Structure 1
C-alpha cells in the first residue's frame, strides 16, 4: 500500500460536555474514493473540517504530503456579503484563476454574475462546485454535493468525478451517487470510525455483519449495553428488511398503475369503472399554464388516485414547482381544469424548514412545550415519539439551534407526520437527511394512508417510493410513467417508432386490414413464458447481489467483483426489456377481449 497523502492519527475532538469522537485514525491514498457514512449528529461535517485543517482538534496529529491541496465543498456555501456569485468564487484563500472558474461554471450551467443575495440554493451550490473544482485539488472533501442540484447537474458532477485523478471523500444522502462513484467506505459510529474496502453498494450488508458480531459479543456484557445494541440493530437492519417487503408492494402498485395508463404516450389515466372514479382526489384535464409566451405546462391530463405516490422530476426551470402548484390549487391553469376532492387536507413540507426557530426546544416543536404529542388522533409521550424518529429521548429539551441540519429535517418530519391529513406534499425532502432517516422516511411514506406528491432529484429515493413519475423536459410536455425515476429514464431512451414506409395507394390498400382475432404463435408464447423468465432473472440478480455484498470480495477477487457488476447490469436490462414486452402483449390481449 502506497503512503497516504493525507492522514490524521489519534484524532479527538471535544464538543459540548464530552468527546464527539476520539482515537480516530484516517489515512487517505492518492486515488481513494471514499463514502463517509454516519447518522445525523455523528460529526461527519466536523470530521471533514478537521481533515481540511479548518478546526483545531483536542487530540491527534494531521500529516499531509508537501504540495497536496485539500479543498472542502461545504454543505451550505457562505455567499453572504458578496455582491455576485463570481465574487464568491474568486474570494477563496487560495483563489483559482478566473478562466478556470468560468470553464467549470459554463459546463455546470451557472451565471456567475447573478447577485449573491438573490441566488437560489441550486445556484449557490453550482457556484461553490465551480470554485472547488477550479482549484485543481489533490483531495476533495464533498459535503452533500448533490443538494439542490437538478438531475443534469448531478450527472455532470458524477461524470467529472469519474474522470478525476485525485482522491475524494463524500458525505451524501444520494445512494445512486455514492454507489456509482465510491470504492471504499468510512463509517462514523458512536464516536469511532471503521473502514472497509467496499464501496457504498456493499455498505448495508457489511454493517449488518458488524451489528451481528457486536450483538454476539454483547451476550457477555451487561444488560444495558446489550439492549442498546439490540435497539441499534432493530432500528437499522430490521427496518431495511421490512422495506424489502414494502418494495414488493410498491411494484404491485406500479403494475396496477401501468394498466390504468393505457398505451405508451397516453397521459390521461383512464379508469374503467365508477368505483375507481370515487377514489380520485385530483383530476387534471387538458391543463396548460403559460408565463408570458412560454408554455410551462402544455395539454397535461392526470387522474390522481387516493393512495398514489406521485414523483415529479426534471431540470431546474422545467416547471416542477408550477406543476405542483397546479395540482394543489396554489395556481390556476390558463386552459383546462383541475378538480380536487372537497375532503382534501394537505401538509406541505418544503425545502426552507421555516418552522424551526433556533431558540425553541424540541419539546416546543413537537408538543407545544408539553409532554404529550397527538399523532393522527392518538396521544403519545413526546420522548417515546422521538425514538420513532431515531432521536435519543434525552434530546427533548435540546435547543433547535444545537441540532445538525439533518436532525432539524428529521424533527420537522416528525412534527408534520403527526398531523392528520390525506395529502402530503414533499419538496426536496431528502436534503440534509442521513441514510437511516431516508429509510425511515420511505417507511413512513409507504404506510401513509393518503396521497403523496414528491418533488425530488434523489433518483434512488424516487425508485423506492413513487408509483407514478411525472417527467418534465422543459418543453411543456409532461411524461406520465408508471414507476420511478429509472422507469422514466428508460422511457426517454426508448427509440422512437420508425415512420411507416409510404406505398402507392391502391384500391386494395384502401380496404382496412382485418383485425387479428388472437395473438400470433410467437406473441402468445412470449405472453405465457415471460412472467416465469422475469422471475428467473430477478432470482439471478438477487443471487449475484448477495455475492457482491461480501465485504472482502473486491480485495480478494476484483475480477469476479467486476464480472458480477457486469452480470447484474446486463440482467437488469434483460428484465426491463422482458417487462416492457410483456406489458405490450398484455395490452394486446386486453384489446382483443373488447
Structure 2
C-alpha cells in the first residue's frame, strides 16, 4: 500500500465524561475513495473534523504530506454574519477565487446573491459545495453532501467526484451515491475502526462476516454474549434478511399497481371496479395548479389506494411540495378535483422536525415524562420502545439538544409511528439517518397499514420502498410510473426532451440524429447492452463480496490484486456501456 498523504495514528477523543473513540489509525491515500460508515452518534463527523485539523485530538498524531490542501464540506455550514451566499463563500483566509466559486455555482443552478438568512437548505448546501470544490483540494472530506440536494445536483456532484484527481472521504446515507463512487470503506464501530479495500457495494456482506466471526469467537471462548451490547448487531443481521422477503413483496405490489396505470401514465379511473373504488383514499382527476403565469401541475389524474406507497421526485422547484399539498387537501387545485376519503387520519413528518422542542428529554417527548407509551393502542415501556428504534434505553433521560442530527430524526420517527393513523406524509425522511436506521425505516413503512406519501431524493430508499413514483420535470407534467426511482429514471432516459432539460446551464443538448433508422450495429448494441450491463453489475457485486473476506489480503495477496483490477475494469466497461445505451435509446426514441 502506498504511503498516505493524510493520516492519524492512535487517535483518541473524549466526549462528555468518556472516550468517544480511542486508538484509531486512519490513513488516506492520494487516490482513495473512502466511505466512512457508522451508526448515528459513533463520531463520524468528529472524526472528519479531526482529519481536517479543525479540532484537537486528546491523543494521537496527525501527519500530512507538505503542500496537501485538505477541505472539509461540513454538514451544517455556519453562515452567521454574512449577508449573502457569495459573501460567505469568499470569506476567510482560505477563500477560493471568486471566478471559481461562480463557475461551480452556475453549473449547479445557484444564485449566489441570495440572502443567507432566507436561503433554503438546498441553497446553503450548494453554496458550501461551490466553496469547497473551488478551493481545489487534494483531499476532500464530505459530511452528508447530498442532504437537501435535488436529483440533478446529486448527479452533477457524482460526475465531478468521478473526475476528481484527489482523494475523498465521504459520510452519506445515500446508498446509491456511495455505491457508485467509493472503492474503500472505513467502518467506525463501537469505538474502533476497520478498513476494507472494497466500495460500499460490498459493505453489507463484509459486516455480516465480521458479526458472524464475533459470534463464533464468543462461542469458542464459552462466553455468554451480553444482551445490552449485542442486541443491535443481531437485530441488524435479522433485519437485512427480513428485508429480502419484503423486497420480493414490493415487486409483487408494483406489478399489481402497473395493471392499474394506463400506457401514458394516467390512472384508469373510468374502468375501476367497485372493489378498487372502495379502497381509494385520494382521487385526483384532471388537476392543474398555477402560480401566476407558471403552470406547476397540469392535467394530473391518479387514484391512490389504501396501502399504496407513493414516491414524489424531481428537481428543487419542480413542484413536489405543491403536488404533496394538493394530494393532502392542504391547497385546492385551479382546475380538476381532488377527493379525500372521509376516514383519512394523517400524520406529517417534515424536514424542519418542528415537534422536537429544545430542552426536553427523550422520555418527555415520547411519553410525556412517564414510563409507558401508547403505541397504536398497545402500552409499551419506554425502554423497550427505544430499543425498537435502535436507541440504548439509557438515552431516555438525555436532552434532545445532546442528540446528533440523526438521533433526533430517529426520535421523531419513534414518536410519530406510535400514533394511530392511516396516512403518513414523509418529507425528506432520510436526511441525517445512518444505514441501520434507514433499514429500520424501510421495515416500518413496509409494515404500515395505511398509505404513504413520500418526498425524497434518496434513490436507493425509493427503490426499496415505494410502489408508485410520481416524477416532475418542472414543465407541469407528472410521470406516473409503477415502481421506484430506477424505473422512473429509465423511462426519462429514453426521452430526448428529458436529456435536454438535464443538460448543464449554458450547454445545448445534442441535436437528434437525422437517420431514418438505426444502423444494424447500433440496433444490435441497443438490444444486447442491457444484458451486458446486468452481467457486469453482477460481476462487480461478486468480486466485491469476495474482497469482503477480511483475511484475503494476508492469505492470498495475488488474488486480492486480481480482484481489485477486475472490479476497476468492470466498472469502466459498465459506465461506457450505460452511456452507449442511453445515446442509442435517445436516437431510437427520436426516430419513433
Q: Structure 1 length as normaliser, TM-score?
A: 0.87
- Counterpart for residue 515 of structure 2: none
Query: Across the two proteins, how many residue pairs are aligned to each other?
Result: 545
- Counterpart for residue 105 of structure 1: 105
| Distance change in 2, residues 1:283/1:393 (3 Å) | same
- Counterpart for residue 447 of structure 2: 447
- Secondary structure of 1:211's counterpart equals helix
Q: Does 1:160 align with 2:160?
A: yes
The 1-side partners of 2:106 and 2:432 are apart by 27
- Counterpart for residue 145 of structure 2: 145
Using the TM superposition, give the Cα deviation of residue 17 of structure 1 relative to its aligned residue in structure 2, in angstroms.
1.3
From 561, 568, 575, give the equivalent of 2:567: 561
The 5-angstrom pairing of residues 58-137 of structure 1 reads 58-137=58-137
Q: Does 1:383 align with 2:383?
A: yes
Q: Is the 8 A contact 1:262 1:269 kept in 2?
A: no
The 2-side partners of 1:32 and 1:432 are apart by 24
- Counterpart for residue 339 of structure 1: 339
- Secondary structure of 2:420's counterpart equals coil
How big is each residue's C-alpha offset from its partner over 1:87-119, in whole Å with a ceiling of 9 and x where there is no partner? 110113311111111111111111110000000
How big is each residue's C-alpha offset from its partner over 1:370-427, in whole Å with a ceiling of 9 and x where there is no partner? 0001101100000000000000011110111110000000000000000000000000
| Distance change in 2, residues 1:270/1:10 (3 Å) | farther
- Counterpart for residue 56 of structure 2: 56
- Counterpart for residue 255 of structure 2: 255
| Distance change in 2, residues 1:379/1:200 (3 Å) | same
The 1-side partners of 2:162 and 2:23 are apart by 32
The 5-angstrom pairing of residues 349-428 of structure 1 reads 349-428=349-428
Using the TM superposition, give the Cα deviation of residue 238 of structure 1 relative to its aligned residue in structure 2, in angstroms.
1.2
The 1-side partners of 2:5 and 2:271 are apart by 62
Using the TM superposition, give the Cα deviation of residue 227 of structure 1 relative to its aligned residue in structure 2, in angstroms.
3.4
The 2-side partners of 1:273 and 1:38 are apart by 49
| Distance change in 2, residues 1:71/1:566 (3 Å) | closer
Q: Is the 8 A contact 1:310 1:470 kept in 2?
A: yes
- Counterpart for residue 313 of structure 1: 313
The 2-side partners of 1:21 and 1:339 are apart by 54
The 1-side partners of 2:403 and 2:268 are apart by 45
The 2-side partners of 1:357 and 1:69 are apart by 40
- Secondary structure of 2:259's counterpart equals helix
Query: Rg larger in 1 or in 2?
Result: 1
Q: Is the 8 A contact 2:232 2:390 kept in 1?
A: no
- Counterpart for residue 545 of structure 2: 549
Using the TM superposition, give the Cα deviation of residue 560 of structure 1 relative to its aligned residue in structure 2, in angstroms.
3.4
The 2-side partners of 1:122 and 1:460 are apart by 20
The 1-side partners of 2:304 and 2:263 are apart by 18
The 1-side partners of 2:271 and 2:169 are apart by 49
- Secondary structure of 1:219's counterpart equals helix
- Secondary structure of 1:317's counterpart equals coil
The 1-side partners of 2:437 and 2:283 are apart by 32
The 1-side partners of 2:573 and 2:6 are apart by 36
Q: Is the 8 A contact 1:214 1:229 kept in 2?
A: no
The 2-side partners of 1:90 and 1:538 are apart by 45
The 2-side partners of 1:571 and 1:442 are apart by 31
Using the TM superposition, give the Cα deviation of residue 223 of structure 1 relative to its aligned residue in structure 2, in angstroms.
4.8
The 2-side partners of 1:131 and 1:495 are apart by 34
| Distance change in 2, residues 1:109/1:442 (3 Å) | same
The 1-side partners of 2:534 and 2:111 are apart by 45
- Counterpart for residue 329 of structure 2: 329
Using the TM superposition, give the Cα deviation of residue 342 of structure 1 relative to its aligned residue in structure 2, in angstroms.
0.1
Using the TM superposition, give the Cα deviation of residue 569 of structure 1 relative to its aligned residue in structure 2, in angstroms.
8.4
Q: Is the 8 A contact 1:197 1:554 kept in 2?
A: no
| Distance change in 2, residues 1:333/1:490 (3 Å) | same
Using the TM superposition, give the Cα deviation of residue 539 of structure 1 relative to its aligned residue in structure 2, in angstroms.
11
Q: Is the 8 A contact 2:75 2:145 kept in 1?
A: yes
- Secondary structure of 2:479's counterpart equals strand
